[in-house]
Amino acid sequence: MSVQVLLAITQAFALTMSVAFLVYVVVIVVPYLRRKPGPAGDPAGFTWHFFVPCRDEQTVIRETTRYLRTTFRRAHVWVVDDDSEDRTARVVRMLWRRHGGYDPYLHLVPRVRPEARTGKGDALNAAYRALNDWMGPDAARDDVVVVVVDADGRPSPNCLEVCAADHLFGDPAVGAVQLDVRMGNVETPPLSRNPVGRWFGLKLAQLQDLEFRTAIAAIQTSRGFTGTISMGGNGQFTRLTALDSIAGDAGQPWRGSLLEDFELGVHLLTAGWRTGFTPDAHVSQEGLYSLRRFLVQRTRWGQGTMQCARYLRRIWDSPHVSTLGAAEMMYYLAQPWLQLLGSLLYPIPFVLLVIGTAGDPVQMWTWFTGGAWILFAIYGSFGLLPFLVWGPIYQLKCLHSKNFLRGLGMGFAYAAYIYTFYVTSWRALFRLVRGRNGWAKTRRNTEQAAGVKVALDA
């Protein structure tokens, strides 16, 4: 078989995958751009409980707790100290005592090893059981909502009103609602001696903001039509009775996957609950400045997605999930595997082109200039356009700027950003094969900055 024939076959396969993905992007972009804000509701009809899982979070937990308690004065805050080795628990206890008394809306859930430090899901389960003990067996549970917030999370002040709306928790069939996610440090460069490092760190945080506010928000919006809106690890609102329905005898609504948020959504959907998503309120979190820490985080997410493949049969057999919804969830679970396949398939045409040119440069040049270059151009365009489009959309819709050239530049940067997922998919596979399923905490930017500041002051 000639090099030209092999090139044509591999390009056909790769082009088919790229065209299918481009069509998918077009399908999700339209409802995202056409969506209008929804009405708000009355949060007084519900009781709100914030769960904040913490593992060595002394650098951020003070301000997060203060923010939650001052912004949502009638909401309870449950800080779960997962056997931290720093002053996390001490900081919370100090905040607990105010004006010579105790804050009845602030609760500390301490955990110790060996039960502690076994994953975010286990920490949340501990808060769930503590809430049950605090409420007692006879308490009303229908209008109680649990809100999961990361230790660096800042839910927008209007989030309770938005989630209390008739189309969200005002509908008793809705078991969970996910907020839009934003990066709160997109205008704050990291502390670094190196100007290039400051620029790169800030750009990486901005690309994470772009990803969540455009591509992920569009995916979540489109899932409203398939009934498969998934939960995130930050800004996750869940009705207590929905958690009760999937907790089982062990009292564990969250399970053992590294992607415990998506896993929770699977159990809720297959139990018959509806889920919602709203960009009318948001939760802010830290965008990571470090590429190394970013790769560690996304490796964990990719591995968690691979682990959730065990729910394919549950999804497909569930009478509560439509055929279209099951197909959408299966497509999502297939993403890391498709990235593995793509990392093997996409480079082949270029490798074969180099090999063919080395063997017979004249023949390959004649073939290439005779029209084959058009196929390469189409091949490259279809591989780039599905990611490039989000830059201008982010610039116009999220930043309210008409600077098209900057948006185009962000689109090219986002395309490069997305290709790092091919790396993290392989890392996730290697961890899975080696049985390394432990949960590793991602270091906060404030922890990194503290180390840098010490070095700068030295």
Q: Which domains, and CATH codes, for the chain?
A: 1-29+332-424 (no CATH), 41-317 (3.90.550.10)
Q: Residue 391 burial (CB < 10 Å; 0-12/13-18/19+)?
A: buried
pLDDT at 11 over 80: no
In degrees to the nearest 10, what's the CA dihedral of 66, 67, 73, 79? -60
Q: How high is the pLDDT of residue 455?
A: 34
Q: How high is the pLDDT of residue 119?
A: 83
pLDDT at 50 over 50: yes
Query: HSE of 287 in the Cβ direction (CA atoms, 13 Å)?
Result: 25
Q: How high is the pLDDT of residue 186?
A: 92
Task: For 58-117, write each residue's pLDDT tens digit.
Answer: 889 999 999 999 999 999 999 999 888 888 888 888 887 765 568 889 999 999 888 878
Task: For 21-40, write each residue's pLDDT tens digit.
Answer: 667 677 788 888 888 888 99
Q: Indicate the pLDDT class of residue 457, thresholds 50, 70 and 90.
A: very low
Q: How high is the pLDDT of residue 7?
A: 57
Question: What burial letters (b/e) apply to 81-99, b meaning 16+ CB within 10 Å?
Answer: bbbbeebbbebbeebbeee
Q: How high is the pLDDT of residue 342?
A: 79
Task: For 137-168, write each residue's pLDDT tens digit.
Answer: 888 898 999 999 999 999 999 999 999 999 99
Task: For 223-241, write each residue's pLDDT tens digit.
Answer: 999 999 999 889 999 999 9
Alpha-carbon distance 112 to 248, whole Å? 23
Alpha-carbon distance 156 to 386, whole Å? 30
Alpha-carbon distance 422 to 291, whole Å? 14
Q: How high is the pLDDT of residue 387?
A: 83
Q: Within 10 Å of residue 8's Cβ, how many Cβ atoms?
A: 14
Token output for 95: 């905040």
Which residues does 280 contact at the CB level (< 8 Å), separation at least 6? 37, 38, 40, 158, 162, 180
Q: How high is the pLDDT of residue 192?
A: 73
Task: For 262-313, write each residue's pLDDT tens digit.
Answer: 999 999 999 999 999 999 999 999 999 999 999 999 999 999 999 999 999 9
Q: How high is the pLDDT of residue 326?
A: 94
Q: How high is the pLDDT of residue 149?
A: 96
Across 397-419, average pLDDT: 92
Token output for 75: 């909401």
Alpha-carbon distance 122 to 105, whole Å? 23
Residue with tokens 């489109």: 222
pLDDT at 454 over 50: no
- The 8-class DSSP code of residue 303 comes to H
Amino acid letter, 227: G
- The 8-class DSSP code of residue 308 comes to G
Which residues does 140 contact at the CB level (< 8 Å), separation at least 6? none
Task: For 333-386, write each residue's pLDDT tens digit.
Answer: 999 998 898 788 776 666 766 777 777 777 767 766 766 666 666 666 666 777
Task: For 200-211, write each residue's pLDDT tens digit.
Answer: 999 999 999 999
Across 445-451, average pLDDT: 55
Q: How high is the pLDDT of residue 390?
A: 92
